[in-house]
Structures are given as structure tokens and as C-alpha cells.
């Protein structure tokens, strides 16, 4: 083989090598960019919490859980202690499927109208019922009517959880109105108040999840929102 042909072969080989290297570098850079953009997108999703009071309900809570599970969404359930009676399996399902459980007192009473000892007993009795059922002691409490009695002395840390967006689902019991109200008012870091004791509330909650997920919101439990 002549020297000219040898040099020509070497030149072709160098070009092919450089092209392959450039393609690998470009592909790797593209993959890195895609991954980075994806990670940034995840971090930039505004977080909100969907909460449900007054359950568990033997009919509507399972329907709600089915819809949330299908969508991969976790919520927070503030349970009335006396409603746990006879619904222990349902309460365990709530916990097993990754939702957060908190106390809504035992008898759904307005705490600021009670003496300190009775108010404390209502909260702890609700928490104890949750512990007896699930084996987990909750530190979160949703005061009925949003009325928290200040300076209550508990043997453990109790965290009262209020809300920023009231769906008024218990009042309207109209799916369309509930959805419009929440979607209009919600913003990053908000806690949405709903109830899992009405069929209209369950339907509205799932529509709200679908709509706000499409808008880029990420649903988390209240502990993730408040303690992060």
C-alpha cells in the first residue's frame, strides 16, 4: 500500500473517531440536560395538602381511598374517635396506603368551650383510639370548628392543624361549586379543608386532585408541608 493511501486511511479513521466522540458527548449532554430539567421541575412543583375531617365513613371513605390510590395521591385524615368504632379495618387501610392520620377529638366538640381538663381529655382520647387501632400515636390534631384552646398541657407534643382553603363542602354539597371554590382560591403551601362523609365531597375531591395536578401542584400530607 502506498504512503498516500496509508495517510488517507488514517485521516478517515481520525474523522470517524472524532465524529463518534462528538455524538457520544452530545448524547450524554442531552441526557444530562433532560435529567436536570426533570429534577428542577420536581423541585419547583408547588406543594399543597388535602385534608378530610369527620371520618371515617363506612361508604364514602373507601370510595375516596380508591380514587386517591388510583391517582397516587396521599392526603391527611382527621378522624373522630367515636367514628373509629366498627371501622378499625378502614382506619388501618388509611394508614397502610400512606395517608397521615390525626385526631379530630373523640366526640367532635368545640374545645374552647370546655375546661382545660375536658379539652385535653377529648384530644388525648381521640389520639388513644387511633393508637389502639393502628399502633401509631399521632401528634396532629384538627380542632373542630377551628377552635383551639391555647396553653393546653399535654404529656406529648400536639400540633394543631388549621386550614387556608375552606371548600365549604359540608354546606353546599354541590360538586361543581366545591371544585370551583377550591381551584379558585388555592395557592402554594395551602391546606385544603374537606370532609369524607358526603358523596359530593368525594367526587369534588377527586376532580380537584385531577385539575390541580394538571396545573403542576404536588399533593403532600400536612406533616410534609408543616415540618419540612
**105 backbone φψ class: left, alpha, beta (φ>0; ψ -120 to 50):** left
The answer to whether residue 53 is catalytic is: yes
Exactly one of 53, 169, 190, 196 is catalytic; which is it?
53
User: Cα dihedral sign for 186, 191, 195, 196?
Assistant: positive
The answer to whether residue 108 is catalytic is: no
Look at strands 47-55 and 191-195 and give their pairing: parallel
CB proximity list for 222: less than 8 A, separation 6 or greater: 49, 51, 76, 100, 102, 140, 161, 191
Exactly one of 57, 99, 104, 195 is catalytic; which is it?
195
Rg (C-alpha) for the chain, rounded Å, is: 27
Residues with active-site annotation: 53, 195
Amino acid at each position: 500500500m502506498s504512503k498516500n493511501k496509508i495517510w488517507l486511511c488514517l485521516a478517515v479513521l481520525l474523522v470517524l473517531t472524532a465524529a463518534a466522540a462528538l455524538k457520544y458527548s452530545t448524547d450524554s449532554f442531552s441526557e444530562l440536560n433532560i435529567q436536570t430539567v426533570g429534577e428542577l421541575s420536581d423541585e419547583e412543583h408547588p406543594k399543597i395538602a388535602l385534608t378530610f375531617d369527620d371520618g371515617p365513613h363506612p361508604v364514602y371513605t373507601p370510595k375516596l381511598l380508591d380514587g386517591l390510590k388510583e391517582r397516587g395521591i396521599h392526603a391527611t385524615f382527621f378522624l373522630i374517635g367515636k367514628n373509629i368504632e366498627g371501622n378499625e379495618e378502614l382506619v388501618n387501610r388509611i394508614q397502610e396506603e400512606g395517608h397521615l392520620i390525626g385526631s379530630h377529638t373523640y366526640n367532635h366538640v368545640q374545645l374552647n368551650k370546655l375546661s382545660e381538663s375536658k379539652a385535653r381529655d377529648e384530644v388525648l382520647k381521640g389520639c388513644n383510639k387511633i393508637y389502639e387501632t393502628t399502633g401509631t400515636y399521632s401528634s396532629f390534631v384538627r380542632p373542630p370548628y377551628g377552635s383551639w384552646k391555647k396553653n393546653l398541657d399535654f404529656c406529648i407534643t400536639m400540633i394543631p392543624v388549621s386550614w387556608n382553603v375552606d371548600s365549604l363542602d359540608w354546606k353546599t354539597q354541590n360538586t361543581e361549586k366545591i371544585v370551583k371554590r377550591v381551584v379558585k382560591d388555592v395557592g402554594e403551601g395551602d391546606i385544603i379543608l374537606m370532609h369524607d362523609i358526603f358523596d359530593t365531597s368525594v367526587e369534588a375531591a377527586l376532580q380537584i386532585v385531577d385539575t390541580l395536578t394538571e396545573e403542576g401542584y404536588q399533593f403532600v400530607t400536612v406533616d410534609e408541608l408543616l415540618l419540612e
